[in-house]
Amino acid sequence: MLYSFTTPGMASIHYRSFGMAAVAIAGLPTVWNIVARNEYHRHTIEKTLGGKKAGAYFLAAAIFVASGVRDYLFYNAMANTPGTELPILPTHAFGAGNVGVVRSVMSGIGTALMLTGTTLVVSSFLRLGVTGTYLGDYFGILMEERVTTFPFSHFENPMYLGATLNFLATSIAQNNAVGAVLTGWVALVYHISTKYFENPFTAMIYSRRDEENRAASRASGAVKKH
């Protein structure tokens, strides 16, 4: 079976590794949204493990491991079609004497993006904690109030933005077009996942919690009057 495609004058693209990375990128958030929604409605993991917190930490560990596999497949796709074969920028186009300069500039841009992305990921995690980061609210483990401090003061989904920037950073630093294309796919998948699935459902969870609290408060007030 052929896994790469080559024509005269063109680079060889390793489609098998590229496809596996693309499927993993789209598949991971799809699966965790399905599992989390099932948990919210049916409490499958909670019942199996005997508690909300145990279930939330189990799902967190599963997502963490699966994310590592996805990252491996991303970098493997880059390794199988390196920037020397399919670059973002053909460095030789800037002249043989400027190749080193172009590479240094791209490496610097990659480093800056990596620092930015890592800052967003780490600061988001520190604000949310394990259960806040890994869908603990679907288990009924809710935060007291919405986090509005940095990075949430500037970005709606800083964790996903940071992860995307990290992928982009590696792609630019290695001048790897396959990595750049996969990064675009990451950005699209995260956009669809957050805009149409995660954010609306999470908003519903907290809205329902607030409604229940208001109803309980009204009921408590009515009891006191009597």
d(CA 99, CA 118) in angstroms, rounded, equals 28
Does the annotation place 117 within a ligand binding site? Answer: yes
d(CA 168, CA 182) in angstroms, rounded, equals 9
Does the annotation place 199 within a ligand binding site? Answer: yes
50 Cβ contact list (under 8 Å, min separation 6): none
Does the annotation place 133 within a ligand binding site? Answer: no
Does the annotation place 116 within a ligand binding site? Answer: yes
Q: Are the C-beta atoms of residues 32 and 135 closer than 8 Å to each other?
A: yes
d(CA 86, CA 159) in angstroms, rounded, equals 29
Burial class (CB in 10 A: 0-12, 13-18, 19+), 152: middle
Q: Which residues are annotated as a binding site?
A: 115-117, 198-199
For the annotated binding site for S-adenosyl-L-methionine, the residues are 115-117, 198-199
